[in-house]
Structure 1
Amino acid sequence: MVSPGERCAPEVAPPRSTMKTLSDIPFSVLDLAPICQGGTAAQSFRNTLDLAKRAEQWGYQRYWVAEHHGIPGVASAATAVLIGQIAAGTSAIRVGSGGIMLPNHAPLVIAEQFGTLAALFPGRIDLGLGRAPGGDHRTARALRRNFGADTFPQDLEELRGYFRPGGPGNGVHAVPGEGLDVPVWLLGSSDFSARLAAQLGLPFAFASHFAPDYMHEALALYRRYFEPSKTLAEPHVMVGVNAVAADTHDEAHRLFTSVQQAFLNLVRGTPGLLPPPVESMDGQWSPLERAHVERMTLCSAVGSPDVVQRGLEAIAESTGADELIVTGQIYDHAARLRSFELVAGTQRRNCGSE
């Protein structure tokens, strides 16, 4: 069987100057704070903090949580609150959002929240921003001030202005926030944020862990149109990857069925709690549903450590990524910890320290 990661290849390879070996690429964690069947949000938060502490020990560079709303199996709706809990429970790893959905909030509120986090945990907070709702339209309408109006570029400029010394010049000040160094990332699954990140000279993260279709096109556009800024002298790309590792190939694929079932439920419009793994997905989906789920999870590395390493290497080579951010929706917490430990080990194996 070919690993999904080994199929996640571009039509046109990235410039050779962008290619790095796996040992040169920092690994980070993207956590959706999954609520498992039979579990609770409180248990999810305990598991998140436990994983964050261990991720710090295993050498991961960042620990990001994502804003979602109205999804039974995702507990990270109050993203800034959870970031504060994670940062308080760790000591060095960068903690941030992957991402905050900017259209859901007044820019001043985000500036104050992340200004507070940056004041509490100097040099450790990242602000990743997206323009998707992070939930269904009914939930988005309940969250947003002006539902349907796409003012993302203007809101982004206002938000960034609150972090500048003196503020954005509109007489409104973010306290805390003003004058603090809070790195801003743009996140996306299409070319919109790629072009905007390039125009503003910001780092860009692509959501290839669930929407890989336009990944190579978006990354190429970002690199082609990138304009150096005070933030970045050259493009900086992070790529999302589903990674599930276990001591045996078969066990990893069994664990991955929780991910596949979760995506299948999304495809069917019936999102729920993270289900336990099954021995086989045969009979669980129709051929059309299987094709849809496999397309959504194309950027995945699943298997024994050797197989996962090859999958991550293939994704890194095909994208020229500067960083990989790994997510793994695994039902059993101990198995999830073991998976992230093994994934971290693939980078050390690559640089010959094991």
Structure 2
Amino acid sequence: MTVPLCILDLSPVPAGGGVAAALRNSVDLARRAEEFGYHRYWVAEHHFAAGVASSHPALLIAQIAAATSHIRVGSGAVQTGHQTALSIAEQFGLLDALYPGRIDLGLGRSGQRRVEAIAELGRPPVAPPEARVVDGLLIPRPFSFAKLIGSPRFAVYASLLQQEGALPPDFPAQVDEILALLAAEYRSEDGVEAYARAGEATDVEVWVLGSSGGESARVAGARGLPFAANYHVSPATVLEAAEGYRAAFQPSAGNAAPRMMVSADVVVASDDEEARRLATPYALWVRSIRLGEGAIPYPTPEQAAAYAWSDEDRELVADRLATQFVGSPQTVAEQLRTLQRVTGADEVLVTTITHDHADRVHSFELLAKEWYA
């Protein structure tokens, strides 16, 4: 059985382009994605990145939902460490009131991860496991984000994203508050009722996104929520994430059994050679993220080809390059089917970045035609 195909969009800003055009491109792509048969269209939340325009999902979701008619639209993901449960519930409840039955609220940890990363820096280093292939799916050596997230640059970013003196909220407690507010069932510890009128008793579908078998997977499973495992962010831990979620799963009113999505970075073109050319800038783009610079405006293939790579550079991006699915529709569809089969995912979420918008639209069109053929 063919599982649904979904899109994660970062609203990429190409080299030489601007934010306004990138956002208009996202709205245009969403319209086309609906025509192509995609099931969901999710937008990301990224800050301090010159090459990413999607910074506030709820605002962009409203524009996309207004420009489409039936595709589900949601966040991948709201960074919960930067907002209160009330503000999140109100935003997505308002969206559901305007576009009933179409809104997904994907939740992710943010500030909580920085606290963990700083703690990790103080521990003795542990040799990472070697890369392996599991039933045809590459599981590369893991990349440690501890040094990056624990850097002074990220401390400054955190200070700009939170009120002075604020601490990252407890993720499980915040998820519980969001669920209670959306269900109009919130009660404080001493019995005081509170209501998010804009979010009261909505049909918002709540997801949790995660990159490992840690807290995010456990929170989703214990509450019977659907879970999205991020192969495109942390391919080394995708199986751990899927296993952790299923091990923690408890049936809920909305989900009698685990329900999981898995993500992947893809570039599709008419043939493998053209797809590889379009994907050339990806390595340089990932490098900028992992050096803590924030995603740079997405280079042209020619700009990327001119970069002089060091061995250190190549090691920095090796896992992401090895797990990006690039090629003809047949090539990429087969790789995605392997990813779906090995993880047991119920839906597949793909993200694609190219310098030219037309190439990105064409990539999604070719993939959908092959996937649903």
- Equivalent position SS for 1:63: strand
Q: Report the Cα distance in structure 2 between the residues aligned to 1:102 and 1:280, rounded to whole angstroms.
A: 34
Q: Return the offset for 1:274.
A: 1.3
Q: Report the Cα distance in structure 2 between the residues aligned to 1:343 and 1:154, rounded to whole angstroms.
A: 39
| Superimposed CA distance per residue, residues 208-227 of structure 1 (whole angstroms, 9 cap, x where no aligned partner) | 11211211011112112211
Which letter maps to 2:325? A
In structure 2, the residue matched to 1:30 is 8
Q: Report the Cα distance in structure 2 between the residues aligned to 1:112 and 1:62, rounded to whole angstroms.
A: 21
Matches within 5 A, 1:217-232: 217-232=240-255
Q: 2:161 aligns with which of 136, 143, 165?
A: 143
In structure 2, the residue matched to 1:163 is 182
Q: Which moved more, 1:234-243 or 1:142-151?
A: 142-151
Q: 2:59 aligns with which of 81, 84, 89?
A: 81
Q: Report the Cα distance in structure 1 between the residues aligned to 2:202 and 2:304, rounded to whole angstroms.
A: 50
Q: Which moved more, 1:311-320 or 1:137-146?
A: 137-146
What is the TM-score normalised by the length of structure 2? 0.83
Kept after mapping to 1: 8 A contact 2:82/2:168: no
- Equivalent position SS for 1:185: strand
Q: 1:330 aligns with which of 343, 354, 371?
A: 354
What is the TM-score normalised by the length of structure 1? 0.88
Q: Return the offset for 1:137.
A: 3.0
Structure number with the bigger relative contact order (C-alpha 8 A, sep ≥ 6) is: 1
Which letter maps to 2:55? A
Kept after mapping to 2: 8 A contact 1:300/1:311: no
Q: 1:213 aligns with which of 222, 236, 239?
A: 236
- Equivalent position SS for 1:46: helix
* Distance change >3 Å, CA 224–CA 60, structure 1 → 2: same
Q: Return the offset for 1:166.
A: 4.5
* Distance change >3 Å, CA 58–CA 117, structure 1 → 2: same
Q: Report the Cα distance in structure 2 between the residues aligned to 1:206 and 1:128, rounded to whole angstroms.
A: 12
The answer on 1:109 being equivalent to 2:87 is: yes
Q: Report the Cα distance in structure 1 between the residues aligned to 2:98 and 2:251, rounded to whole angstroms.
A: 30
Kept after mapping to 2: 8 A contact 1:258/1:329: no
Kept after mapping to 2: 8 A contact 1:34/1:329: yes
| Superimposed CA distance per residue, residues 228-277 of structure 1 (whole angstroms, 9 cap, x where no aligned partner) | 11121101111111110001211101111222221011223333211112
In structure 2, the residue matched to 1:348 is 372
In structure 2, the residue matched to 1:315 is 339
Matches within 5 A, 1:161-200: 161-168=180-187, 170-191=192-213, 192-200=215-223
Q: 2:292 aligns with which of 256, 259, 269?
A: 269
| Superimposed CA distance per residue, residues 44-89 of structure 1 (whole angstroms, 9 cap, x where no aligned partner) | 0110011000000000000000111111111111211000000000
- Equivalent position SS for 1:180: coil
Q: Report the Cα distance in structure 1 between the residues aligned to 2:185 and 2:255, rounded to whole angstroms.
A: 22
Q: Report the Cα distance in structure 2 between the residues aligned to 1:127 and 1:219, rounded to whole angstroms.
A: 20
In structure 1, the residue matched to 2:318 is 294
In structure 2, the residue matched to 1:72 is 50
Q: Return the offset for 1:184.
A: 0.7
Q: Report the Cα distance in structure 1 between the residues aligned to 2:259 and 2:185, rounded to whole angstroms.
A: 28
The number of equivalent residue pairs is 327
Question: What is the root-mean-square deviation of aligned Cα atoms in Å?
Answer: 1.9
Q: Return the offset for 1:31.
A: 0.2
Runs (5+) with no aligned partner, structure 1: 1-20, 350-354
- Equivalent position SS for 1:278: helix
Amino-acid identity (%)? 43
Q: Report the Cα distance in structure 2 between the residues aligned to 1:126 and 1:107, rounded to whole angstroms.
A: 16
Q: Which moved more, 1:67-76 or 1:145-154?
A: 145-154
